[in-house]
Amino acid sequence: MNQAGETKRQNFNVSPEQEAQIEWLRVAMGAATTKETILRSISVMTVLYNYLKLGYQIRLVAPTEQIHLVVPELEPAPQSTWQYLVSRPHPWRRQLYVKGRRLLAATVWQDMQLNHLSPEEAAENFALPIAAINEIIRYCEANLELIKMEADEERYLLEQRGVSVEFQAAS
């Protein structure tokens, strides 16, 4: 643990899209540096989180209307409503896995799409109940943005290690 006054250097990679978002935020906040932008953003998120924890809600108020703003990153993890899917600890992945397996729900769903499998064929292929396949389809269709974001992150990490990630159709 750091003593008072000690600092620790942070070093992490960001995708070009994330870099553009940070730069946009830096300009919008009028911050002089990326570091200042990130530190001020952390302070804002901490304040918001602490108020939400006390039961407050975030609202945008105009003279004629009021909007309840939901910030997913600040919301508590939802109680699982999935019978066949679970979360697993991972440094950056947030999508769900098939319960009892180290198999991402998106892997099953993408395999179904790429190979034009029916739910019944996928159930047989992955040795899963048809109800699990239907749940995977519902989950993936409801979380397309998360799945895309994590695929982009994985692609980026592989490219950083020198692994080619271009799709090549079988001849």
Using only C-alpha atoms, the chain has a radius of gyration, in whole angstroms, of 21
Containing structural domain, residue 36? 16-69
For residue 12, give both structure tokens. 């992490």
For the ranges 18-32, 108-122, 147-161, the lowest mean pLDDT is seen at 147-161
137, 122 in Cβ contact below 8 A? no
Same domain, 108 and 156: yes
Domain edge (last residue) among 6, 39, 69: 69
pLDDT digits (tens, 9 = 90+) for 53-75: 887 888 888 899 888 887 777 76
Q: Which tokens in the block code for residue 38?
A: 């990130």
Which helix H or strand E contains 68, and what residues bound it? strand 66-69
Alpha-carbon torsion (143, 146, 152, 156), positive or negative: negative
Q: Give Cα 80 to chain centroid, integer Å.
A: 16
Burial zone of 106 (CB within 10 Å; 0-12 exposed, 13-18 middle, 19+ buried): buried
98, part of any domain? yes
Predicted pLDDT at 141 = 92
- Has residue 76 got a pLDDT over 70? no
Same domain, 154 and 100: yes
For residue 171, what pLDDT is reported?
45
